[in-house]
Structure 1
């Protein structure tokens, strides 16, 4: 117990991780947008909405995630929900402010795809390791993996490809292909560095989240994994 307590994140640890994670994602999205590229998930939907309508990315991104916040509360409980809402609000605000703080004169599309995807992946990893997310399909994918045994990585890839398929209607096919490269780079980061047992800094929160998920699953009548 003493070792677990020493590994647990402090409030300052969480605050810095939230800032680093959301800034990395916001910067990654800015790099992708500068090259006319997109990304998967709800960020990709918000990006396409911005391209098609001109609506503010940050505002659209937050609104799209509201249904996933509701799901996060039902599946993982109020603590995870609060952390995810804070992280998503930070990312939305940073994405709206970033154009006034930094601009890109020229970004090579291939570099943008690789760097943008890696930045987004590292930002998401920072948030995941501090028991938070930025809403979206990942919340549902993690739940389905925990409860039904479906592979979260495959579910996320399918969801991302569906979003990028819609991108063919709005952006050049060459840019869509590079957007797929960005998604692959993002998922490589998560596949390599987010593995069960590799990181113990959130052991206490993980156990509490598992207990809350099991309780809610029992009430909803979904059979437990053996």
Structure 2
């Protein structure tokens, strides 16, 4: 008989470490360089989408969509209209989303306005099917908006409101923005053909489904 002391059976579950939670992780804030490259890349992606839409005679939702409607109706520069339309939303962002978010959003909108105005001077598109412009533009818009959202910035009006409602009410940002975008796109029937409006709706659906899938509360830490 062994002289070793007897021990109770070991509970494997008790010795298995619990999965790490967000409370166990040290979340590092974004550096200035990380914020700068995200804002630049996000606005660049969105500017490319807007250029595709303008080339194909389409539009998008939100304040950019309102700028498109006015652009098609008056032929005023798209970038300038976009910057001016967003001015009233800075107060809302400052009071509801904070100073950092507002400053980054202002920089993003200013950059996008400049890129939208000057990028067409750097390259030209000779042939572009509206369906391709809608899908590619929608994905570029969704990607660009996510870059900005994860670095506490946005591209104005509709995005500011949708992110605020997600934070305050728990409403999915993608679904909120989809509703607003579709309303803006319907207004486009007054300035562009129903066929182009249909392609624009496709772009809005692609963009907002992309955001709804990839921007879920609790999945990512947005700092």
Q: Pick the TM interval, shorter chain.
A: 0.7 to 0.9
Which residue does the alignment assign to 1:40?
Answer: 61
Matched, 1:124 2:145: yes
Change (3 A) 1:156 1:67: same
Shift of 1:156: 1.7
Could you say which structure has the higher helix fraction?
A: 1
Q: 1:44 to 1:122 in 2, by over 3 A?
A: same
Contact 2:163 2:173 in 1 (8 A): yes
For structure 1, which segment, 13-22 or 136-145, has the greater mean C-alpha deviation from structure 2 after superposition?
136-145
Is 1:98 equivalent to 2:119 in the alignment? yes
Counterpart secondary structure, 2:131: helix
Measure the CA separation in 1 of the matches of 2:168 and 2:218. 18
Question: Normalization by structure 1: what TM-score?
Answer: 0.84
Superposition deviation, residue 154 in structure 1: 3.3
TM-score for both structures, normalised by structure 2: 0.85
What is the rounded CA distance, in whole Å, between the counterparts of 2:172 and 2:216 in structure 1? 13
Report 1 or 2 for greater relative contact order, CA contacts < 8 Å, sequence distance ≥ 6. 1
For the aligned residues, what is the CA RMSD?
A: 1.7
Point out where structure 2 has 5 or more consecutive residues left out of the alignment.
1-22
Q: What residue number does 2:176 align with?
A: 155
Give 1:143 deviation, angstroms: 1.9
Residue correspondences, number: 201
Deviations 1:162-188 (A, max 9, x none): 111111111110110010000011112
Long gaps (5+) in structure 1: 206-226
Q: Match of 2:156? A: 135
What's the counterpart of residue 15 of structure 1? Answer: 36
**Once the 2 structures are TM-superposed, how far is the Cα of residue 47 of structure 1 from its aligned partner?**
1.0
Secondary structure of 1:161's partner?
helix
Report the CA distance between 1:150 and its aligned residue.
4.3
Residue 26 of structure 2 is matched in structure 1 by: 4
Partner Cα separation in structure 1 for residue 162 and residue 206 of structure 2 = 19
